[in-house]
Amino acid sequence: MPRPKIAAGNWKMNKTLNDGLKLVREIRADTKASDGVQIILAPPAVFLPSIVSITADASHIEVAAQNCHEAEKGAYTGEIAVDMLASVGVKYVILGHSERRQYYGETNHLLAQKIDRVLGTDVLPIFCCGEALEIREAGQHVAFVGEQLRESLFHLSAEQMAKVIIAYEPIWAIGTGVTASKEQAQEMHREIRQLIAAQYSPELADAIAILSGGCAKLAISVALIPLAVVFG
């Protein structure tokens, strides 16, 4: 069974609501389900209900949150529970983005808790992994990403693991002047699939969607947004 083709756009802390709605309308106008690409848009949390509302009848466009808390509920001012996301129609949530790891100290073990919480709902996780430049230059990138997967994901059952989308982000190519080639990304995709095959099965490793992080222009869109596009 062929893997799905996915383009996932993380807006980070950018755009006003009106700007965001304009962007989504442009994407809707320039894309259609028959293109065969599943588009996942991840706007700031405050925009989620509005974006869900105007994409509800577009089967090829889904909405993701940029983060969620590991607890079901509680006194966590400013945080968002995954059940809250589900209640407004959000289908995906990004977990473990490199900026969350760097700026907010999110660890592999914390992300394992978030993964468990999300998989107990109808929301699906997009799990981010990737290495910094010094790790890549030291030749430790495969081992580093492997540790991220083992500590955050490999406690899952095969059935749970099949629900996870993995987003590999070459952090070393962001703002460093060093360019990550398609071949380098595909090489890491193969390594990730081998790790999954060893832990679970070759069939699961082949079926799981792995995205490649970075900025690109979606050919069928007039808008430039950060994208992660799955390689076939």
Find the mean pLDDT for residues 118-131.
Answer: 97
Token pair for 72 = 């079901």
CA distance 90 to 126: 13
Residues 90-122 have pLDDT tens digits of 999 999 999 999 999 999 999 999 999 999 999
H helices then E strands: how many in the chain? Answer: 10, 9
Task: Check: CB of residue 27 under 8 Å from CB of residue 63.
Answer: no
CATH assignment of the domain containing 53: 3.20.20.70
Q: Which of residues 176 and 183 earns the better pLDDT score?
A: 183
Mean pLDDT of the chain: 89
Q: How far apart are the first and last CA of the chain?
A: 12
Is residue 115 within 8 Å of residue 126, measured between CB atoms? no
Q: What is the pLDDT of residues 56-85, one digit of tens each?
A: 999 999 999 999 999 999 999 999 999 999
* Beta bridge pairs of residue 127: 95, 166
Which residues are the active-site residues? 97, 169
Q: What are phi and psi of 43, to 5 degrees?
A: -80, 170
In 3-state terms the chain splits into helix, strand, coil percentages (rounded to 5) of 45, 20, 40
Total of domains in the chain: 1
Contacts of 139 (CB under 8 A, 6+ apart): none
- The CA R_g of the chain, rounded to the nearest whole Å, is 17
Residue 205's alpha-carbon distances to 97, 166, 201, 209, 225, in angstroms, are 22, 11, 6, 9, 29
Closest CA to 225 of 7, 9, 28: 9
Question: By percentage, how much of the chain surpasses pLDDT 90?
Answer: 78
| pLDDT band of 199, cuts 50, 70, 90 | very high
The answer, yes or no, to whether residue 214 has pLDDT greater than 70, is no
Domain range enclosing 85: 5-230
Quote the CA–CA distance of 185 and 180 in Å, as a whole number: 7
pLDDT confidence of residue 175: 64
DSSP line for 30-74 = H--GGG-EEEEEE--GGGHHHHHHHHTT-TTEEEEES---SSSSS
pTM of the model: 0.91
How many other β-carbons are positioned within 10 Å of the β-carbon of residue 137? Answer: 12
Residue 89 has pLDDT above 50, yes or no: yes
CA proximity to 123, closest of 195, 48, 193, 53: 48
